[in-house]
Copies of this chain bind each other. A is one copy, B any other.
């Protein structure tokens, strides 16, 4: 099969913000290498933007700019479309139109894939075109391709990711400086590590979309953002971080996807929440705005993939990697592997997920309190790993770390502790992850 051809592949770019500009720059700077690696040059034939008059990082000939994205993807002579607009609409309609019109699509759109990937994959299947999205999870880190392909002969048991740079930056600063959440968020916003409206990041929506994508690929089943249990970091206090530190742990916002036994065969769970992990865990050393994904599988064992999780150039690197694959396939008139959802696993609700809890209670400092607390755990069939008393008198605090139990049982335990008259306050509740007990 001879890949070489004289005629260039024709590429349309949808969106030209920080990622799109870097895609344009790399296409130009690496043109000779890309041509050699693909077997044909890639020509940019159009860039759809909302405001053509804006100054951009990349030099784009004015005649390529258009506000008519729908017209660009449906003109019929486009081989490849890169979508970096984000959001649900018009991105979805544009991707569907691109596929219908015979283009392969590379997208960084985590929200769309996690909400309605099924529609996109079905359209790609019908059109016999590729739909690639490495850039949608963990930026530059190659994680989707390893899950889809390198681990295709293995059974993945758990994927634990630090997949949101903003929250990792904030939690890392809270840990190193001892500062409170609000103060560090403000600093992150000044430094450009957090958006003016940081909700999608700090409340875990961004990570939940990524968890849905990771779970779908790892377990060959369909998981959407709505299936993912989600808690953000806005309630994480300096006291939580200090308490984690005393346990030799650190607080991270984790996206955790697990393969479990359900009542009718294999089931999966997917969740995003802050958790304490031991400082010896490989994920604990992921600092600042870096991302990492830790994969546990039957045969390979424990793997970790680490790198920058966001930013224009890193995300563009992932986009271009996908673009090279899609372009090679166009030249050979073939298609890579499509969606793999044969396993059709049940998605377990959070209550049935197993985890461990760290609970800090402000209590009366008197005999019988510890016994009563221990009884509350026992009544919910939760066994205790450690109890530590801190302070005395009015400042007495009990810190309990449980063994593994269902989230429902742990949560019910905390609810019952709240009703006890000698418990003045449940000052910290946080899940504990990352060790085998």
Contact = CB atoms under 8 A, between A and B. Distances in A.
Interface in A286-308: 297-308
A381 interface: no
Contact of A321 (B134, B152, B305, B325): B152
Contacts of A152: 37, 320-321, 324-325
A318 B300 CA distance: 8
A151 B142 contact: yes
A321 B37 contact: no
Interface string A295-333: 001111111111110010110111111111100100010
A36 interface: yes
Contacts of A335: 1
A36 B266 CA distance: 15
Contact of A140 (B37, B128, B155, B303): B303
A33 interface: yes
B328 A314 contact: no
Contacts of A154: 26, 30, 317, 320-321
A419 interface: no
B142 A303 contact: yes
A347 to B, nearest CB: 19
A334 B325 CA distance: 14
A318 B325 CA distance: 20
A308 B142 CA distance: 18
A380 interface: no
A140 B113 CA distance: 28
A300 B304 contact: no
A128 B152 CA distance: 23
Contacts of A305: 303-306
A145 interface: yes
Contacts of A301: 140, 307-308, 311, 313-314
A141 interface: yes
A307 B305 CA distance: 9
Contacts of A151: 142, 317, 321
Which of A1, A317, A324 is the most central at the interface, judged by chain B CB atoms within 10 Å of its CB?
A317
Which of A134, A140, A299 is the most central at the interface, judged by chain B CB atoms within 10 Å of its CB?
A299
B141 A303 contact: yes
Given A150-B134, A220-B36, A321-B149, A307 B300 contact: yes
A321 B150 CA distance: 5
Interface in A385-410: none
A153 B142 CA distance: 12
A282 B306 contact: yes
A324 B1 contact: no
Q: Can you list the 9 inter-chain pairs with the closest CB atoms, starting with the nearest?
A: A153-B320, A142-B150, A140-B300, A299-B317, A303-B307, A152-B324, A300-B317, A142-B146, A36-B342
7 contacts: A22-B299, A36-B343, A37-B220, A140-B299, A140-B303, A142-B149, A153-B322
Interface of A: 1, 22, 26, 30, 33-34, 36-37, 128, 134, 140-142, 145-146, 149-155, 220, 282, 285, 297-308, 311, 313-314, 316-325, 328, 332, 334-335, 337, 340, 342-343
